[in-house]
């Protein structure tokens, strides 16, 4: 199976670059399933139902989120009825929505997508390791899913790396989101799980993690809030990870970065 995971979509520039490239990527890479992290898609903070529809129309099969999922209150109603929109599974019991789902793919295959959030330098959440282990035991590889994708939304690279090794051999892909900067460690781990510490963002990199660089600089230099953070609006880069799996096992045989547009050097699988 051929999978693509697109990093955090930041504001209008991020949505624009996803619209421009994702459909063509689906054709060029013969993709079977695409996940997009959309938690910053609505002006940099949260997302809305119309934006979810925009991302689905652009080529996303499922949308994951993170700590900004509730920033737009109207998403509370949408997440209850949209099975393809996920919030972190290790949020406290009773949180609206769901943290994992099994979705159809071509050829009668099924893809598990699980979304968890880290605990280091983040707001309090339940144990992500135990949470995702329970999800994979019930719905993962060997339990009805032909591929299993885990979005680990975390601040600390150590915690994300630990999750990759914890799930090695049990997931097709463990990918980090949240820091908006693509790391250079995309690879297949020893047990067959594709991994990247952070996939980066779909947004304008002439910025401070997707936000207008001058507003951000004023905050750092003046030590006082200097206006509301605004997403950078220049030419954006689509940052993603391409993964190819073995149909017999669901484990990865290839992992390669994808970067298109904007100011970062382009990357495409050979």
CATH number at residue 35: 3.60.21.10
pLDDT at 227: 72
Q: Tell me, yes or no, whether 267 lies in a domain.
A: no
DSSP state of 239: E
Q: What is the mean pLDDT of the chain?
A: 96
Looking up tokens 């096992």 gives 249
172-204 residue pLDDT tens: 999 999 999 999 999 999 999 999 999 999 999
Q: Tell me, yes or no, whether 268 lies in a domain.
A: no
Active site residues: 68
Q: How would you classify residue 262: left for phi > 0, otherwise alpha for psi between -120 and 50, otherwise beta?
A: left
pLDDT at 201: 98
pLDDT at 226: 65
Query: How large is the average pLDDT for residues 231-258?
Result: 98
Q: Contact, 96 vs 69, CB < 8 A?
A: no
Q: Tell me, yes or no, whether 240 lies in a domain.
A: yes
Structural domain of residue 152, as residue ranges?
Answer: 2-260
Q: Which of 64-78, 181-195, 222-236 has the lowest mean pLDDT?
A: 222-236
140-171 residue pLDDT tens: 999 999 999 999 999 999 999 999 999 999 99
Cα distance between residue 180 and residue 229, in whole Å: 16
Q: Tell me, yes or no, whether 102 lies in a domain.
A: yes
Q: Distances in Å between the alpha carbon of 257 and those of 148, 196, 207, 254?
A: 18, 9, 21, 10
Share of the chain above pLDDT 70, in %: 99
Q: Tell me, yes or no, whether 42 lies in a domain.
A: yes
pLDDT at 50: 98
The pTM of this model reads: 0.97
Nearest to 260 by CA among 173, 195, 175, 201: 201
Our count of domains for the chain comes to 1
Q: Tell me, yes or no, whether 270 lies in a domain.
A: no
Q: Tell me, yes or no, whether 266 lies in a domain.
A: no
pLDDT at 223 over 80: no
93-152 residue pLDDT tens: 999 999 999 999 999 999 999 999 999 999 999 999 999 999 999 999 999 999 999 999
Q: Tell me, yes or no, whether 94 lies in a domain.
A: yes
Cα distance between residue 268 and residue 29, in whole Å: 9
Distance in angstroms between the alpha carbons of the first and the last residue of the chain: 17
**pLDDT grade for 218, boundaries at 50, 70 and 90:** confident
pLDDT at 222 over 90: no
Nearest to 1 by CA among 126, 130, 113, 129: 113
């Amino acid at each position: 199976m051929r999978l693509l995971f697109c990093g955090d979509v930041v504001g209008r520039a991020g949505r624009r670059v996803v619209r421009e490239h994702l459909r063509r990527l689906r054709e060029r890479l013969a993709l079977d399933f695409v996940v997009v992290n959309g938690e910053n898609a609505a002006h940099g903070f949260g997302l809305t139902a119309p934006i979810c529809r925009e991302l689905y129309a652009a080529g996303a099969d499922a949308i994951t989120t993170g700590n900004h999922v509730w920033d737009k209150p109207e998403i509370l109603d949408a997440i209850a009825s949209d099975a393809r929109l996920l919030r972190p599974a290790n949020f406290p019991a009773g949180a609206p929505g769901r943290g994992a789902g099994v979705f159809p793919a071509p050829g009668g295959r099924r893809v598990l997508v699980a979304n968890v959030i880290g605990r280091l330098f983040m707001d309090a959440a339940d144990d992500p390791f135990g949470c995702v282990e329970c999800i994979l035991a019930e719905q993962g590889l060997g339990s009805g899913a032909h591929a299993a994708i885990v979005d680990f939304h975390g601040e600390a690279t150590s915690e994300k790396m630990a999750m990759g090794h914890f799930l090695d051999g049990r997931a097709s892909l463990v990918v980090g989101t949240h820091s908006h900067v693509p790391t250079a460690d995309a690879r297949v781990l020893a047990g067959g799980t594709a991994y990247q510490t952070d996939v980066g963002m779909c947004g304008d990199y002439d910025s401070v993690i997707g936000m207008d660089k001058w507003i951000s600089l004023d905050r750092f230099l003046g030590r006082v809030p200097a206006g509301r953070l605004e997403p950078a609006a220049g030419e954006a880069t689509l940052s993603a990870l391409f993964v190819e799996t073995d149909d017999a096992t669901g484990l990865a045989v290839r992992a390669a970065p994808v970067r298109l547009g904007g100011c970062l050097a382009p990357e495409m699988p050979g």
